[in-house]
Structure 1
Amino acid sequence: MPAAAAPHRQLLGGILLLLLWRPAAVRARVTAVIVFGDSTVDAGNNNAVPTVVRSNFPPYGRDFPGRRATGRFCNGRLATDFYSEAYGLRPFVPAYLDPDYGIRDFATGVCFASAGSGLDVATAGVFVSKFTPTQPKSYSSIFNLRTIVLCSYDAGVDPPNQIRLNLSRYPKIGLGILIHSISSFRFPPNRSESASKSSQPNSSVIPLWKQVEYFREYKRRLAAHLGAAEAEGVVSDAVYAISVGTNDFIENYFAGTTRRYLQFGVGEYTDFLVGLARGLLVELYGLGARKVAFTGLAAAGCLPLVRARRMMLCAEEYNAAARAFNDALRGMVAELADDLPGAHLRFADVYDFFADILGDPARYGKLYR
C-alpha cells in the first residue's frame, strides 16, 4: 500500500473507532449494521421513490464493484459499507427498498436512509417543489466550475447531482474524493423534459419518521424469518449508524425553502434539530437499539453546492452553524447515554476530517490533472 493512502486509513479508522466502542468490543458480537439518514449513507433507497434526487446513473458507482451506479451518492462504497466489512459482515449494506435483496440479506445489515432527508420533517418536503424536472436548467450556467466532491459528505441534493459529467475529465484523486469539471447539463436517464410533463408527481424523499416505520416493518419481517428470539438478538447486538442534518441547514433553513428561517433564529433551529435527534435516539432505543453512533456535520459551508453559489468560496456562517450543531449534539448524546440503561451512544465527529481533506486533498491520494 503506498504511503499516500495512509491518511485514508487514518480517517476511516478514526471514525470506525467511534463505532467499535473500545478495543475489546472489536471482538464482541456485532450482528448487523443498520443505517438511517440522508445521502451521506443512502445505499439506493431513492431509486424506489419518484424523485429527481437520485444517483443511479454514471458517473456514480464508477469504482463500485461491477462499476454499477447503485444509487449511492458516491463513486464507490459508502463509509457504512466499510463499517460492515470491518465487523466481518458483508462488504456493503443493502438498501431496504432495493428489490434485489430480501430479509435474508437484511439480517446482517440494512439501510433505510434517503438522500435529501433531514431531522426536520419539513426538509424532505422541500424536494416536492424545489427541484422539479424542468427547474434545474436554470442552474446550468453556474456549474462550469472545477470543484472537489467528497462523496461521503456531499449534501446529495444539489443540482450537480442531477447532471451528467464528462467522464474523461473526472479523474479520481483519492478514496472517495473526486475532482471534476461540469461541461454539460442534462437530466438523469428517464428524467427528460418530456418526462416532466407526465402525470406522475414529483414525490418527496423518505422522511426520517418513515425510515423508522420501515425499521418497525423490518423487525416484524426479521422475526418471521429468524424467530422472535433470534431476531431480538440481531436487533440488540447490531450497530446503528445515523448520519443526517446537513440538508436541514443547507436545503431548508439557509435556503429559505420553508418558514423555518422565520420561526427560528439559527441557535433556536439548532436546538430544535437536536431535540428531534434526541427523540429519534429514544425511539430507536425503545425499539431495541443499544449501540448507536450519530455522525456530526461536516463543514457544510464548504460543500460543492455552497461553493458553486459563492465563486468557490466557503460560507463561514454555514460552517459556524455546523460546529454549533455538533457541539449541541455531542452534549445531548453524552447526557442521553447516561439516562438510558444499557445504551452505548457515540457522537462521531467528522468536521475536522473533512476540513483537513479540503485543506490538503493531495495528501489523501495522488492528484491527477
Structure 2
Amino acid sequence: MAFLEHDAWRVVSVLFLVSLNLSRSSVLGAPQVPCFFIFGDSLADDGNNNNLPTLAKSNYPPYGIDFPGGAATGRFTNGLTSVDIIAQLLGFDKFIPPFATARGNDILQGVNYASGAAGIRDESGQQLGDRISLNRQLVNHFSTVLRIKGILGSNVSAYLNKCIYSVGMGSNDYINNYFMPDIYPTSRIYTPEQYADVLIKQYKRQLKTLYLYGARKVAVMGLGLIGCTPAEISKFGTNGSACVDKINNAVILFNNRLQPLVDEFNSNLSDAKFTYINNFAISTTGPGTAGLISNSTCCEVDKELGTCVPFKTPCSNRSSYVFYDAFHPTEVVNLGLAARSYNALLPSDASPYDIRRLAMIYISHFEMALSFERNRAWRVGLSVLFLISLDLRSGALGARQVPCYFIFGDSLADNGNNNNLETRAKANYPPYGIDFPEGATGRFTNGRTTVDILAKLLGFDKYIQPFATAKGCETLAGMNYASGGAGIRDETGQQLGDRISLSHQLQNHLVTISRVREMYGANATAYLNKCIYTVGMGSNDYINNYFMPGVYPTSELYTPEQYADVLIEQYGQQLKTLYSYGARKVAIFGLSVIGCAPAEISRFGTNGSLCVDKINSAVMLFNDRLKPLVDELNRNLADAKFTYIDFFGIATAGLPALRLASSTCCKVREDGTCIPSETPCLIRLLHAFYDGFHPTETVNLVFGARAYKALLSSDAYPFDIHHLATL
C-alpha cells in the first residue's frame, strides 16, 4: 500500500481551520461584492450552450453527477466549475445564472456568459457548431448592463464598478483553431510567437470594451496545461514527454504576454484593477494534481469529440482523477484552482493580487488590514483539501494492513444499524448521504464518517458492513456495531427510542465471533488478535443523559468529576470484556468538542464564549481519565495494545474558527437532525457541522487522517492507528 509522505500529511492540520475560516468569512456572510460576471469557454459554461446547435454541450448524464441534485446543467465536469466555487467563496449563496436563462432581478448578482468552444477569435471552435465567442459575450453583457440600468437608473455605473469580472479565454484558440491545421489556416500564417501577439492584440481590445461597460475589478485567467489533456495527447502523442510540449510551449507564449497586459491596463485606465491568475503555475507548483490519475478520463469518451458518452456510468472514484472527460477537469481539480485564485498560496499564483484582495478594493484601509490579519493564518488555502481527499481515497489501493476492523460507537460511526429500529436517531433519508456513493445509508453526515476513512486507510476496499445487515463472509472483514443515540450507560439516549448501547454492541460482537469460529475453528482467536478495534463512546452519556436533567437524574446524583469516574469505571469493564473476546489492538476515541455543536449552543447559549464551556469542561474530565485507563489496560492485560486518540486536542487546534458552530449545512428539526428531503448547503466541504450534532465529511477527513497518522505527538497515545496496525 502506498502511504502518504510525511509532508503531505502535515497539510491535514490546516484543513479544518482553512475550511472553517473560508466558510465563515465568505459563504456564510453577505457577498463581498454586489455581483460577479463571468466570461469564458467550456471551463466556465453553466448552460449557455444547452439550446445551441452545437456538439459542444454537456447537458446530459454523466455530466453533473456530483452537482447538487445530480443535475446535468451544462457544466463540463462532474460537479462544480472553478467559477462556481469562486462565487461561493465570494459569498454568493446561489450559483451565477447563465445568460441564456437569467431573468428579472437575477441579473443584479451577475451573469455567466461562458460558452463551450468559444474563443478570443470569432472563428475558433466553428467546426463544432454554434458557440458564443468573446465578442458575442460582450454584446450579451451590454444588454445586461442596459437591463441593470433599467432597474438601478443613474446608480448603474457605481454598482458595476464594484463587481468582480472573471475572463478566461484562449484555450479554444489553440486546441480548436491553431492546432487544427486541416480546418484553420492560422498555424500556416503565424509562428507561435506571432499568433500569441495576434491573440493578445485582440484580447486587449475586448478587455478594454469590458472596461468601457463599467468593469473595474477584472480577473484575467491564464491558460492551463492544455497540452496535458487526454484528447491532445491522444491526437499528437508526447514524444517521450508527459504532455504535448508544443501546445504547452505555445500556451506559455500567450500567458507571458498576459501579465504585461494587466500591468498596462492598471497603469493607463483610470481606476482599473486588473489582475492575472496564473493557472499554468498553479497546476505545476505547490499542492496540485500530483498523485491524481491524469493519463485517462473518468467518463467514457467519444473518441472524436472528447466529451462523455451519454448516460455511460463514470468512474466511482472521481476525486482521484484530473480529467472528467478528455478536455475538462474534475471538480476536485477545479477546487484547487479556485482556492488558489481566490486566496493565493504562492506569490506566483496571482499578480498583482488574488481575487480575495481584488474584492476588498475600495473598502476602508482599516477593514482591509484587519481582514488581511485574520486571513494570515490561512494562506495555505482550501487548495489542500482536494489533495487530502484524494490521498485518503487512494489509501485503499494496496493490501489490507490488518485482516479485519471492528467498530463500536454512536451516531458518529453508525452506518445503518439504526435504520430499522424504533427510534428518532436515524439518518437513512436525504439529505444525509448526499455525497456518499450509495446515498442515505444511515450515516449521520453528508458523506463518509471517520471510521469509513480509517477503513480505507487501513487498506479495505469496501466499507465495513453494519451488524444489522452483514451476512456470510462479510463478517471476516470486520463489523460495524455503532448505533446513534447509544452510550456507555444503558439508559443513555432512551428518550430518542431504541438504540444499541455499548453493552449490547458487545453482545452482538459475541455473535460475530461465533460466526468467525465457524469459519476458522481453532484459528479464530489468532485471527481476531490481529484485527483493529475502534471504540468511540461517551458523547451521548453527556448530551443525551447528564445534560438533560429533565429526563435523567445523573447530574443531580454526581458532580462532573464523579460522573466522569462512574463512566470510566463502566467503560473500563466494557473494554476488558472486548479484550476477553480476542481484541488486542484497540483504539479508544476521546470525546470531541461536543459543547461546540450547534444544537448545544442553541440550547444552552455560550455566555460570550465560542461554545458551551460547561459541556466541554465535563468532556475534558472524561478524556483526562482515558489516557490513564489505556496505560492500565496495557500494563495489566497480556499482549494488550490499547491506544488513545485525542479528538478534543485535534479539534481545539481550530477552536478560533469554531464560530461556525452556530451554523449547520442542512436545515434542522428541533432535535438537531436534518429535515427530510430539504436541500442542504451547496458546498458542504466549507462547513464544520452537517446537522445540529454531526460533522461534515470535511471534518471527518481530518479526524480520520490524524487518528491514522498523528500530525502532533498529542494526537495519539502511545501510538497512532497506522503504528497500531503494524504491531
Q: Does 1:105 align with 2:474?
A: yes
Matched, 1:70 2:70: no
Matched, 1:221 2:515: yes
Whether the 8 Å CA contact 2:475–2:515 is kept in 1: the answer is no
AA in 1 matched with 2:620: R
1:359 is displaced (CA, Å) by: 3.0
TM-aligned CA deviation for residue 254 of structure 1: 1.3
Describe the shift of the 1:5–1:223 C-alpha distance in structure 2 as closer, same or farther (beyond 3 A): farther
Q: CA deviation at 1:272?
A: 0.5
Q: Which residue of 2 aligns with 1:306?
A: 600
Of residues 239-248 and 312-321 in structure 1, the stretch that sits farther from structure 2 once superposed is 312-321
Give the distance between the partners of 1:307 and 1:124, measured in 2 at CA.
19
The amino acid across from 1:126 in the alignment is Q
Question: TM-score scaled to structure 2, two decimals?
Answer: 0.36
1:13-162 alignment, distance < 5 Å: 29-66=401-438, 68-98=439-469, 101-128=470-497
In structure 1, C-alpha distance between the alignment counterparts of 2:475 and 2:657, rounded to whole Å: 38
Give unmatched runs, 5+ long, in structure 1: 15-25, 129-203
AA partner of residue 231 (structure 1)? A
1:269 to 563, 569, 586: 563
Structure 1 residues 9 and 119: alpha-carbon distance in aligned structure 2, compared to 1, 3 A threshold: farther
Gaps of 5+ in 2: 1-287, 289-335, 337-380, 393-397, 661-682, 688-727
5 Å-filtered alignment, 1:188-267, equals 204-224=498-518, 226-256=519-549, 257-267=551-561
Amino acid at match of 2:597: L
**1:77 Cα offset (Å):** 1.1
Give the number of aligned pairs. 278
Aligned to 1:22: none
Task: State the secondary structure of the residue aligned to 2:492.
Answer: helix
3-state DSSP of counterpart to 2:486: coil
Structure 1 residue 103, shift from structure 2 partner: 2.9
Conserved 8 A contact 2:493-2:544: no
The Cα RMSD (Å) is 2.9
- How far apart, CA to CA, are the structure 1 residues paired with 2:556 and 2:390? 39
SS of the residue corresponding to residue 206 of structure 1 reads: coil
Matched position secondary structure for 1:35: strand
| CA–CA distance in structure 2, aligned partners of residues 355 and 239 of structure 1 | 26
User: Given the superposition, is the C-alpha separation of residues 337 and 28 from structure 1 closer, same or farther in structure 2, using an over 3 Å criterion?
Assistant: farther
Q: What percent identity do the matched residue pairs reach?
A: 30
Q: What residue is the counterpart of 2:345 in the other structure?
A: none
Q: Which amino acid in the other structure matches residue 64 of structure 1?
A: F
Q: Which string of whole-angstrom CA distances, capped at 9 and with x for unpartnered residues, describes residues 73-130 of structure 1?
A: 11111111111111211342211102xx3131121121001110111112042324xx
2:599 is paired with a residue whose SS is helix
Q: Is 1:333 matched up with 2:711?
A: no
Tell me if the contact between 1:90 and 1:108 (Cα under 8 Å) persists in the aligned partners. no
Partners of 1:325 and 1:10 lie apart in 2 by 31
Amino acid paired to 1:229: A
Closer, same or farther in 2 for the Cα pair 1:9/1:214, shift >3 Å?
A: farther
Between the aligned partners of 1:83 and 1:234, the Cα distance in structure 2 is 20
How far apart, CA to CA, are the structure 2 residues paired with 1:341 and 1:78?
Answer: 32
After superposition, give the CA deviation of every residue in 1:53-88 in whole Å (9 maximum; x if it has no partner). 10000111011013x100011111111111111121
Aligned residue number for residue 190 of structure 1: none
Counterparts of 2:389 and 2:633, CA distance in 1: 27
Flag the 1:220–1:248 CA change in 2: closer, same or farther, 3 A.
same
TM-score, length-scaled by structure 1: 0.69
Conserved? CA contact 1:107–1:234, under 8 Å: no
What displacement does 1:290 show? 0.2
Whole-angstrom distance in 2 between the partners of 1:298 and 1:123: 18
- Mapped contact 1:296–1:349 kept (Cα < 8 A): yes
SS at match of 1:121: coil
Match of 1:315 among 599, 612, 615: 612
Letter in 2 for 1:341: A
Look up the equivalent residue of 2:526 and give its one-letter code.
G
- Whole-angstrom CA distance in 2 between matches of 1:300 and 1:241: 19
Say whether residues 1:296 and 2:590 are aligned partners.
yes
SS of 2:503 mapped into structure 1: helix
Deviations 1:289-321 (A, max 9, x none): 000000001112111210122457521011111
Is the 8 Å Cα contact of residues 126 and 258 (structure 1) preserved in structure 2? no
Alignment check: 8 A CA contact 1:63 1:76 kept: yes
> Rg larger in 1 or in 2?
2
Partner of 2:278: none
- Structure 1 outlier segments of 4+, above 6 Å: 7-14, 361-366
Change (3 A) 1:365 1:299: same
Q: CA deviation at 1:5?
A: 5.5
